[in-house]
Each structure stands twice: as structure tokens, then as C-alpha cells.
């Protein structure tokens, strides 16, 4: 049973009662991430996420962790490009405690100067660790290739320079501006009393307010045609290629997800079978979609010996070309719809995954996407939808790319991808 309601201060609350479980998951979602930042305060959203765990007027940092872990629960948080989420999973008998702890962190954190300075060192190490991960470096580099100077391209962790510049006053001002009820959602999933849940949430979050409100609105960034390379002394070359995608909230996202799965979603996918199994050029290759507010991309990732880079890119380009021309058979469509349903519903087997799904949906779309709704949307995918989405996305070809490794001949890469754009433009015009 679902319910969606709003407190008088504008805070949206989505609850899903699941009677047959003995746990409950609680999440505070805030529509705030690196996309809300600029080059001067980049990383402050992630920094604030860390600081909320450093102690409140009522609990020390240790006590925040202990009071949840001592009852067998889990507490954590994450920051993304567009949202920050603080969450707790525990036995249903500890719902009151979970709400108490999250509200205590939100309203009573101390933000001591000494803790801020310590956390600067911790996050600097996290940034350094990220620099040691080619995949992380590639992700940030490709964001720049895709969106250029737009805020959505900024790294979630920030930079060592920006992190070291944060002051207590700057942090508190930022929280007061963006951590507001109008930007937030409380998501609760699991076993609880539906009759008293509204009163319980009101108890802990009903007095939440702010004087300097900045309700989050995101612009529509342009997708750019950049091919970027970053030198790193590693054995393999890591490659990310992107095509036009679909934004959050667009119902075509399910059709695009199906097409992406066919192209590179698993061991039976086109790219895996061709590039790895048939040609043996790489160990890992896959495609995936990234959907954001007002923008989205489909990406293909692989890592391989640099000497195979040109061949691999050419083959990937050719396979996408064939994919656009041939689409998928009716038999494959039926199987792919079942795969999509299976992967989605198997992912909703826990209260935390249900909480994440509901919270994100309400935060960005202001509605609940029930499993039944999703089932209906997947069932409605037909040949017409496939062709329409193919025209909007894959038919544009590879529009930008990023490479991290010891070396790559970018002149050849630029030439291959430029020819690709011309070839796909011809396909698009013929289809029109």
C-alpha cells in the first residue's frame, strides 16, 4: 500500500507499507548535488554529506553510528550529481529511532571547525583514491566531454583546491539555502502503522524551515561533440563513447533501456558477443544509460590494450550502425521485455531498494512509479516505440568520447568518429 502526502512546510513524504517483512527503510532525499554547484564551491554537497555524520548536539559521531548498529541496523548516505540521500535500514520496531537520528543529523549537527579541517583531509584522500581509479577518472573526463562548462559536468567529489577552501560559514549558508523542505522528500518503505505514519513524520520534520530558500531548478545543457584524452601510466586504455540519451521522467526511458540492454547489457548482448567473444579484443564491454533532469546519454564502456583501440572503436561504430539499420526482431523484443521486467522486479526484493525507487521518483517526478505502472509501460513497448526511440538516440551515432591511459592516437580517433557522424546523419536523413 502506497501513500504520498505533503507536510505544511512543503516536505513531500512517500510511504510504502509492506506487511510481510520485519524491516523498514527510511531515506531523506534532497534535490542537491554537484549540479547545484559552480567551480568555486564544487564538492560542497558531498562535503556536507560527510559532515552530517560528525556529531550533533545530542550524539557524538560514534553514537550516531552505534545507536543504529547496536540494534542491528545500517546507516549510510550518498551524493550524486542531482541528489543527496541519507538512509537507515532497521527492524520495523526501530522506525521511531531511524527518524530521530536522521532529523537529529539534519537539524542539530555541530559543524565544529576541527571536524571540518579533519574532513578536508579525509575527502582529499578520497579524491586521491579516485584518481587511482581509471574508471572514476574516465567518468569525470567524459562528463566534461559531454557537457563542457555546464554544472552537470562537475565532479561530485570536487577538487583538492575547492575542498580545502570550504569554511564553516560557507557550509552553513549552503545548507540553509538548499537543504529546505521544498527540495526534499522523506521515503519510508517496510512494515509500519499506516494510521500513525503522518503524525510520526510530522513530529520530527514538521518544524523544518529556512529563511534563504533556493528551490532547485536545472537548465537544459547542450550535448557537445568533444573527444578528450587524459594520460595515465596504466596498462590498459579505458574508453567511454556516448550517444544521445533521454532525460529523467520521459516514458521512452524504458524503451531506451531495452535497446541498451540488447546492444551491450550483458553476456548475450551484441557488443559483448562481437568485441569480446568473437574478436577477443577486451575483457569487459557494456552499454548503459544515464538519465538526468533535462538531459541524458547512452554510454559504451570498454578497457583494452591500446594497440586494439582503433579496431575496437571501428567495430563498435559498425555494430551501432547495424543496430540502427536492423533494430531487433519481434522474437528478441519479447525476450528483452521479459529480461527488463525480471531485472527490475528482482531489484525490488528489499525494503531499501523500494525506498530508493520511491524516493527518487517523488523527488524528481513528484509521483510514485509502482511496479504495476512499470509493468504496463514495458508491456506497451512495440515496434513503433522502438523505431521512434532509435531515431531520437542511436540514430545520431557516437557524439563524444573520453580516453584514459598511456596513449591513444587521437587524430585517428577523431577521424573515425567524425566519419561516424557523417554516416549516421545520412542514415537519419534517409529514414526521414
Q: Is 72 exposed, middle or buried (0-12, 13-18, 19+ CB in 10 A)?
A: exposed
Contact 272, 285 (CB under 8 A): yes
Pairing of strands 74-79, 84-91: antiparallel
List the helix and strand counts (H, then E) for the chain.
Answer: 16, 11
The alpha carbon dihedral of 313, 315, 318, 322 has a sign of: negative
- What residue spans of 109-247 are helical by DSSP H? 113-131, 134-147, 160-165, 168-178, 197-205
Backbone angles phi, psi at 403, to 5 degrees: -140, 135
User: Which is catalytic among the residues 16, 19, 37, 49?
Assistant: 49
Cα 129 from Cα 243, distance rounded (Å)? 29
Cα 407 from Cα 375, distance rounded (Å)? 46
Residue count of the chain, please give it: 432
Cα 12 from Cα 363, distance rounded (Å)? 8
Q: Name the packing angle between helices 371-379 and 253-264 (round to 10°).
A: 70
The residue among 155, 314, 142 whose CA lies nearest residue 240 is: 142
Pairing of strands 284-292, 184-190: unpaired
**Torsion angle, alpha carbons of 413, 292, 74, 123, to 10:** 60
Does 149 qualify as catalytic in the annotation?
no
- The secondary structure of 260-284 as a DSSP string is HHHHHSSTTSHHIIIIIIIT---SE
Catalytically active residues, by annotation: 49
Amino acid at each position: 500500500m502506497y501513500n504520498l502526502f505533503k507536510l505544511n512546510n512543503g516536505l513531500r513524504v512517500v510511504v510504502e507499507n509492506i506487511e510481510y517483512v520485519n524491516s523498514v527503510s527510511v531515506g531523506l532525499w534532497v534535490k542537491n548535488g554537484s549540479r547545484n554547484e559552480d567551480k568555486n564551491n564544487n564538492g560542497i554537497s558531498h562535503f556536507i554529506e560527510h559532515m552530517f555524520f560528525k556529531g550533533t548536539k545530542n550524539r557524538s559521531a560514534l553514537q550516531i553510528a552505534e545507536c543504529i548498529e547496536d540494534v542491528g541496523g545500517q546507516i549510510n548516505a550518498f551524493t550524486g550529481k542531482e541528489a543527496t540521500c541519507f538512509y537507515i535500514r532497521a527492524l520495523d520496531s526501530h522506525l521511531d529511532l531511524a527518524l530521530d537520528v536522521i532529523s537529529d543529523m539534519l537539524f542539530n549537527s555541530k559543524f565544529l571547525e576541527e571536524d571540518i579541517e579533519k574532513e578536508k583531509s579525509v575527502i582529499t584522500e578520497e579524491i586521491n583514491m579516485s584518481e587511482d581509479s581509471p574508471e572514476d577518472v574516465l567518468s569525470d573526463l567524459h562528463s566534461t566531454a559531454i557537457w563542457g562548462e555546464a554544472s552537470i559536468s562537475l565532479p561530485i567529489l570536487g577538487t583538492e583546491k575547492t575542498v580545502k577552501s570550504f569554511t564553516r560559514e560557507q557550509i552553513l549558508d549552503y545548507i540553509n539555502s538548499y537543504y529546505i523542505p521544498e527540495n526534499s522528500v522523506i521515503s519510508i518503505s517496510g512494515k509500519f502503522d499506516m494510521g500513525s505514519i503522518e503524525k510520526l513524520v510530522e513530529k520530527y520534520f514538521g518544524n523544518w524551515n529556512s529563511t534563504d530558500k533556493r528551490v532547485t531548478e536545472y537548465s537544459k545543457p547542450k550535448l557537445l561533440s568533444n573527444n578528450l584524452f587524459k594520460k595515465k601510466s596504466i596498462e590498459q586504455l579505458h574508453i567511454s563513447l556516448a550517444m544521445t540519451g533521454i532525460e529523467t521522467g520521459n516514458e521512452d526511458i524504458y524503451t531506451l533501456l531495452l535497446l541498451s540492454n540488447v546492444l551491450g547489457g550483458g553476456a548475450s548482448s551484441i557488443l559483448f558477443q562481437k568485441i569480446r567473444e568473437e574478436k577477443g579484443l577486451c575483457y569487459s564491454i557494456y552499454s548503459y544509460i544515464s538519465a538526468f533532469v533535462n538531459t541524458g546519454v547512452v554510454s559504451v564502456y570498454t578497457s583494452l590494450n591500446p594497440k586494439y583501440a582503433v579496431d575496437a572503436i571501428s567495430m563498435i561504430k559498425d555494430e551501432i550502425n547495424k543496430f540502427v539499420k536492423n533494430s531487433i526482431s519481434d522474437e528478441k523484443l519479447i525476450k528483452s521485455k521479459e529480461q527488463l521486467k525480471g531485472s527490475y522486479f528482482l531489484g525490488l526484493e528489499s525494503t531499501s531498494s523500494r525506498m530508493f525507487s520511491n524516493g527518487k521518483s517523488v523527488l524528481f517526478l513528484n509521483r510514485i512509479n509502482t511496479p504495476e505502472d512499470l509493468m504496463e509501460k514495458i508491456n506497451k513497448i512495440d515496434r513503433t516505440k522502438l523505431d521512434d526511440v532509435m531515431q531520437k538516440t542511436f540514430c545520431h551515432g557516437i557524439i563524444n568520447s573520453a580516453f584514459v591511459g598511456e596513449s591513444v592516437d587521437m587524430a585517428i580517433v577523431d577521424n573515425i568518429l567524425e566519419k561516424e557522424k557523417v554516416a549516421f546523419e545520412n542514415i537519419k536523413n534517409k529514414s526521414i
